[in-house]
Amino acid sequence: MSTLLACNKSLLEQLDARVAKWNCDSVVGDIFVERVRKRAGDARGRSRAPYSRQHRMVKARGPRRAQSKSFEVYTSFVNNFDRAMAYVRKLNTSEAFQKFVAVRHHERASQSRQV
């Protein structure tokens, strides 16, 4: 969940900045394209030739790879959201699941009161 939250926060910040400067020629698709390209790009998101020395160096860096991986997780979450929600609705009809949720909610409430 922390990966999804971080990716969503970053995406929201980029979209908010774009909307703040919105005009009739504005677009948002490039924000998503940039996130996908970062997998093979440098720190500024520019693409590199796949076999260049700089590409190999960038590919070895962890944070850039982690950013593209987090966007992959986010994309998977969005693409499967309807299916996940249908499953949650099905679970909510289960008495055992409702008990599980109630216990977890009580545990969290107890922990927050102790802090």
Check whether residue 34 and residue 72 sit in a common domain: yes
pTM: 0.47
Based on the domain organization, do 70 and 92 belong to the same domain? no
Q: Which domain holds residue 100?
A: 82-115
Distance CA 64, CA 69 (A): 9
pLDDT at residue number 82: 94
Residue 91 sits in the same domain as residue 75: no
Q: Are residues 61 and 114 in the same domain?
A: no
Same domain, yes or no, for 63 and 10?
yes
Tens-of-pLDDT digits for all 115 residues of the chain? 777 788 888 889 999 999 999 999 999 988 888 877 765 454 444 444 444 444 444 444 444 555 567 778 878 888 999 999 999 899 999 999 999 999 999 998 888 777 5
pLDDT digits (tens, 9 = 90+) for 46-76: 444 444 444 444 444 444 555 567 778 878 8
Q: Are 58 and 40 in contact (CB under 8 A)?
A: yes
Together in a domain, 8 and 54: yes
3-state secondary structure of 111: helix
Do 36 and 72 lie in a common domain?
yes
Burial class of residue 38 in the structure, from the number of CB atoms within 10 Å of its CB (0-12 exposed, 13-18 middle, 19+ buried): buried
Name the domain count of the chain. Answer: 2
Strand partners, 50: none
Identify whether residues 75 and 92 lie together within a single domain.
no
